[in-house]
Structure 1
Amino acid sequence: METGNETLSTEFILLGLFPGMRHPGLLVSLVFLIYTMAITGNITLILLIWADPHLHTSMYFLLSQLSLIDLAFISSIVPKMLVNFFSGKRKISLIGCGTQIFFTLTLGIAECLLLTFMSYDRYVAICNPLKYPIIISHQVSQKMAIGSWVGGTLASLAHTAYAMHFPLCGTRELHHFFCEVKAILKLSCEDISAYEKGVLVTSIVVVLLPLSFILTSYTLIFLQVLQINSREGKSKALATCSSHLTVVIFFYGPAMLIYMRPGSSHTPILNQGLFMFDTILTPMLNPLIYSLRNREVVGSMKKVLRKCPIQNRCPCFSY
C-alpha cells in the first residue's frame, strides 16, 4: 500500500549476495563454510587465551576481544542471509533491519577502535618495554576494550536512529545481502546530502584518524627496530607486530574504499564485494593470521592437543 510516493510497507526485500549469478547455491555454500571456519577459529582462540595462563596478558586480552567482535560481526549477517536463501523468503522486517544496522555499525566501529588500541599496545611493548606492565596494565586493557564497545555503540545508535527516520519511496528492494545504511538511504524520498556529509565526518573520525594513529605507531616501531643490533631481536620485534598489521590492512582497506570513495564510484557489485571481504572473510582470516604467525598461540595449541588424548575427555582445557 502506498500514499503518494511513500510506501507504507514495514518490510524490506534483500536481493542477496550478487543477485543474478548463475549458481548462487555454490556461493552460499562457500559462505557457510567460511562462517563455520570463522566460528571455529574465533571460539578456539578465545578458549586458548582463557585457558592458558601464559596468554593472560594485556595483548592477548585485547586479541580475545577482537575475536569476540569478529564472532558477533559475522553472526549478525550470515545466519539471516542463509535463512533467507534456504527458505526462499528474502524479507526482513523494519525492526529487524534497524537491529542489523545497529549491530553491524557497532561492531565495525568497535573493531576500528580496538585495532587502534592494539597498535598502541605494540608500540609500548617495543618502544618502552620496561614500563609496559605499568602503562598497559590489565585495568588499562579493560578500559580499552570497554571504550571500543561503548564508542561503537554510541556512534551506531546515533546513525541508526537518524538513518531509519527517513521516509522511503517505491519498492523496498535492497541490492545487498544485509541491511546496510547506504543501501537504505538510496530508497529515501528526502534529500540526504546533509546526512551523507555526516557519514563522511564519522568515517574520518572512526576510520581515517585511527588509521593515522596506527601508521604513526608503526612508524615509531620500525624506527625503534632499526636500532636493534641483533637479527634475532629484530625478527622477534617484527613478529609481534606483523599479525596485527596484516589484520589492519585487511580490515581498513575495504572499509576506506566503502565509506571514503566518491558517491559516483559506488556500484552495488563492487560494494557487495568489499562488504563481503570486510564482514565475512576478515572474521575468518583474523584467527588464522594470529594463530599461524604467533609462536605463543601455536605453542598453546600444541600443548592443548597433547593433553587431549591423555585426558580423553572434553573440554580439553584443564590445567
Structure 2
Amino acid sequence: MIKGGPEQPVEDGTAHWAAHWAARIDAEPDSAHDPDLAAWLDADPRHAGALLRARAVLAMFAPDAQAAPAEPVPLESPPPPRRHPRIAMLAGLGAVAAALALALLPRGGMAVATGTGEVRRLGLADGSSLAIDARSRLTVDVVRGGRRQVAMTGGRALFRVTHDAAHPFQVVAGGVTITDVGTVFEVTQDEDAGTVDVIVSEGAVRVATPLGTRLLVAGQRGRFAASAPPPPAQAVDATTLARTAGWTEGRLDLNGEVLREAVAEMNRHNQLQIALGTPALGAEPLYGAFRLNDPVAFAQAVAASVGGRARLTTDGLVIER
C-alpha cells in the first residue's frame, strides 16, 4: 500500500494510459525518454501521480532477489537523452525485471510473447490477472466494462478472472473457446498435438469446440481439439491442481510423469537444454520436486534415479544410461 493523502479520482483514460506507460517503461526502459510521455505528463498534474502508482504496483511484484538473473546481453548504446523532470522523480522505483512482471494493460489490447525461462504476470484492466508461462504467445484485449478476450497461439497461462455476467471473459486457443463462469483456470495449448488442455481450480468454464460444448467445474479438466467432440470431464484432486500450477512459482512437481515430458518442461524454462542420450529413458516415470531454473541439479538427480549419468557437452546436458 502507498501511504499519503486522499487520492483524487482519476478518469479511466488516465488510469489506462498510466498503466500503458508503466508497462512500456518496464519492458523498454528507453520509453521513459519518449516525448509523448513527457507531453502526457505535462497535460495534467494528476498524470505523474497515476504513473507513480502504476509503477509502484510493478515494483511490488518484482522478482525475488535470489532468482536467477537473466543472461546479460552486451549492447552499445548512445548516451541517454536528458530526462523529463517528472520522469526523473519516478526513476527511484526502478524497472522491474522482465523474467517476472505484472503489468496493467491499456485499452486496445497487447501482444505478449514470453521467451525461454520467462514467466510473466499481468494484471488486467477489469481486475482479472494471468500468469503466462515461458515460450507462450497470446494477445490480450480486455477493457473494463467492455470486451474481454485473450487469444492464445501457443504455450500456457493461468487465469484468475473477475466475473462480469454482462461481459463474459473468453480465451480462444486452437479453435477452442473457453468462457468463464467466475473462475481460476489454466489453459495449455499444444500446437504439435493440436490440443488444448483446460484445468479448473475454482468456479467453472464452458468449453466450446466446433463439434460441441462441455462445462468444466472446479476440480475437473479436459483435453480438447477443434476436430473432435468434447471429451468427458476428468476429476482432478487438490494435490494435482497444486502440482500443475507449480510453474507459476518456479517449481516442477512430478508424480509419475515420464522423463520426456519433464525434460520438455525444463527446456521450456532454461537456455541450457537437456537431451536424452538413451531415448528409452523417456518413458521412465519420475517423482519429486525440482527448481525449474536449475537444469544441472535436475539432470543429476534424474540420472541417479534411473541408474544413468548426466554429462555436459558443448550443446547442453545429456542424460544417458
Both proteins in one fold, TM over 0.5: no
More strand by share: 2
Coarse TM-score class (shorter-chain normalised): under 0.3
TM-score (norm 1): 0.26
TM-score (norm 2): 0.26
